[in-house]
Amino acid sequence: MIESCPFEPNVIDAAASGQWTESLRAHAASCPDCAAAAEVGPWMVSFAKQDDREHILPDPAVLWLKAKLLQSSAAVDRAALPITRVQIAAYLIIAAGWAALLTWKWNALAAWVTALNPGRLAEGATGAGGATTLSMTVLVTLVLLASATVMVAFHAILAEE
Amino acid sequence: MTADIMFAPASFALGHADTERRAPKVPMDEAHFEAFYRKIAGGVWSYIYRLTGDPALADDLLQKTFFRFLRSNPAVANDDHMRRYIYKTATNLAFDHFREAKRERGRPIDLPPSELRADRGELRHDMMRVFSELKPQERALLWLAHVEGSSHEEIAESLGVKAKSVKVMLFRARKRLGEMLTKKGLAP
């Protein structure tokens, strides 16, 4: 391991203050690291003394408050994460439900929707034509899916607000 | 829980000694933070400013440094440990800025920022110009060693390099600065 010179801090201090002891000066002359430190030390000190700050630093109270607000906001996001996940799962389940229902009963649903016009309904009422009906299972599934869709949509809208 | 104590439990392990690890961590409250900030912020600002050469950027990075510090759930600990963390964070943020600027512009940051050219004090201008010609890592090394009085281990921690590399890197940075000062007739 490359060891740093134990006198380096003393040399840096001496170069900064200009107060050298004979032994330290002799050491700096023989140690390449300390010689380099002594060479640039006074310049670095005068450079550091140049006052560049012409404006006031940010108020610590403001920084504290901002950090607190950011912390709260992050905490809210963390707390809302499970809700968001459930919401996304609900969207996926409902979308999958609609896709399954439409695929499974497309013909029956298409016929039922076509039958939903005043002329066909009147024919059905008078018994002139064959009324198109859905099975109870399909009807219940349809109602459940529609209700779930409306509920999720409302939840999303209310949560946004 | 009082309104002042916002970070609990404190997960920010600043202490290294075994005794500090075992001691219960006291979350830093606003009064502690304010006292610590007033003690250290001026020096940190100067450090970031000498690294970046841009006072507005130094303000920005100073705030980010302390936000990051507060976000790490600091516990009341030895000032020296917190100081090291702050300088390490400030260095990382400044170097991140250099990397980002280099990526955006497609070239290394080797030109002094416009603020330096428009600076008012001639001496300050010259000094800042010389310093800005050094590589960012060389600037950080020299500032930490000569102004902050950091040890090689502390510098290594701040810059994220091996402690044994600091000796060589610091020697090269000093030599480079010395040559530049001699060349420009600014050597003391």
Task: Please answer whether residues B62 and B16 qualify as being in contact, where contact means their C-beta atoms are separated by less than 8 angstroms.
Answer: no
What would the 3-class secondary structure string for chain A be? CCCCCCCHHHHHHHHHHCCCCHHHHHHHHHCHHHHHHHHHHHHHHHHHHCCCCCCCCCCHHHHHHHHHHHHHHHHHHHHHHHHHHHHHHHHHHHHHHHHHHHHHCHHHHHHHHHHCCHHHHHHHHHCCCCCCCCCHHHHHHHHHHHHHHHHHHHHHHHHHC
Q: Which residue of A has its CA nearest to B6?
A: A68
- Among B6, B12, B155, B174, which would you mutate to test the A interface (most chain A Cβ atoms within 10 Å of its Cβ)? B174
Count structural domains, chain B: 1
Cβ contact B147–A50 (<8 Å): no
Q: How many residues does chain B have?
A: 188
Q: Is residue B113 part of a domain?
A: yes
Give me the pLDDT at residue A55, please: 65
Q: What is the pLDDT of residue B22?
A: 54
Tell me what pLDDT residue B61 has. Answer: 94
Determine the pLDDT at residue A112: 81
Lowest average pLDDT, out of A75-89, A119-133, B12-26, B67-81, goes to B12-26
The pLDDT of residue A103 is above 80: yes
| Among A112-121, B2-11, B36-45, the range of highest mean pLDDT | B36-45
Whether B19 maps to a domain, the answer reads: no
Q: What is the mean pLDDT of residues A19-29?
A: 90
The mean pLDDT value of chain B amounts to 79
Q: What is the pLDDT of residue B103?
A: 82
In a domain, B161, yes or no: yes
Q: How many helices (H) and strands (E) does chain B have?
A: 9, 0
User: In this model, does residue A125 exceed pLDDT 70?
Assistant: no
Nearest to B167 among A12, A33, A50 (CB): A33
CB B148 within 8 A of CB B43: yes
Domain membership of residue B46 (yes or no) is yes
pLDDT at position A115 is 78
Q: Where are the domains of chain A?
A: 8-49, 80-160
Answer yes or no: do A58 and B67 touch at CB < 8 A: no
Q: How far is B150 from chain A, CA to nearest CA, in Å?
A: 9
B187's tokens: 């050597």
pLDDT in tens, B49-74: 999 988 889 999 999 999 999 888 77
Q: What type of residue is A60?
A: P
In a domain, B10, yes or no: no
Q: Does residue B17 sit within a domain? A: no
CB pairs under 8 A between A and B: 116
pTM: 0.67
Considering chain A, what percentage of its residues have pLDDT values greater than 90? 25
Q: Give the residue-averaged pLDDT of B171-184.
A: 91
Q: Which residue has the tokens 């600014």?
A: B186
Amino acid at A64: W
Do the Cβ atoms of A108 and A134 come closer than 8 Å? Answer: yes
Whether residue B9 lies inside any domain: the answer is no
List chain B residues with CB under 8 Å of A70: 67, 71
Distance CA B106, CA B38 (A): 38
Q: Kindly report the CATH number assigned to the domain that includes residue B172.
A: 1.20.140.160
Cα distance between the two ends of chain B: 57
Does ipTM surpass 0.90 in this model?
A: no
Average pLDDT over residues A119-135: 64
Per-residue confidence (pLDDT) for residue A126, from 0 to 100:
64
Does some domain include residue B141?
yes
